[in-house]
Amino acid sequence: MKRVADDVLKRHRLRRTPSRKEILGLFFDHDYALSQGIIEQRVSQASDRVTVYRTLKTFLDKGLIHKVLDTDGGLRYARCNETCVTSNHHHEHVHFKCTQCNQTSCLNVTIPTVALPKGFRAKESNLLIQGVCGSCE
């Protein structure tokens, strides 16, 4: 999947370093969100912790990946769809955590609008639903 990663980096006008290709490739190899720890385990020795951290930060800024909040307060990252760019990087979709395989994935389901009290204005919303995913059901 490094080939796809290469194209995406090119499209976002990012320098195509081996670390970036490798890390972005992981997101194309998996349908679920990845934690920094998992990414560190899967990449080659050439990408150390700092490289992984910096690469994830660049991908977040540029609209290649987005954060997924986990139930334990930790963070995972998921691939963005093609419409995300730096200036427009919204994720109004539901995330689903499977309590059996412990994987969190993006669902193609929009977060419903919640009526807020007067004087409150929403800027961003996150919705994580827990249950059993299609593969474990």
- Residue ranges that bind Zn ion, judged by CB under 5 A: 63, 66, 78, 80, 84, 89, 98, 100-101, 106, 133, 136
Phi/psi of residue 102, nearest 5 degrees: 65, 20
Containing 77, the helix (H) or strand (E) segment is: strand 75-79
* Beta carbon of residue 60, minimum distance to Zn ion (angstroms, whole number): 8
Least CB distance to Zn ion at residue 16 (A): 20
Q: Which residue lies nearer to Zn ion by CB, 21 or 66?
A: 66
Nearer to Zn ion, 46 or 135 (CB): 135
Q: Which is nearer to Zn ion, 13 or 118 (CB)?
A: 13
Residue appearing with tokens 């307060």: 73
Residue that has been written with the tokens 């690469």 in this structure: 55
The pairing of beta strand 75-79 with beta strand 65-69: antiparallel
Least distance to Zn ion, CB of residue 44, Å: 26
CB atoms within 10 A of CB 69: 16
- As measured in angstroms, the least distance from the Cβ of 65 to Zn ion is 7
Q: Which is nearer to Zn ion, 7 or 86 (CB)?
A: 86
Q: Alpha-carbon distance 102 to 72, whole Å? A: 12
Q: How many other C-beta atoms can be found within 10 angstroms of the C-beta atom of residue 76? A: 23
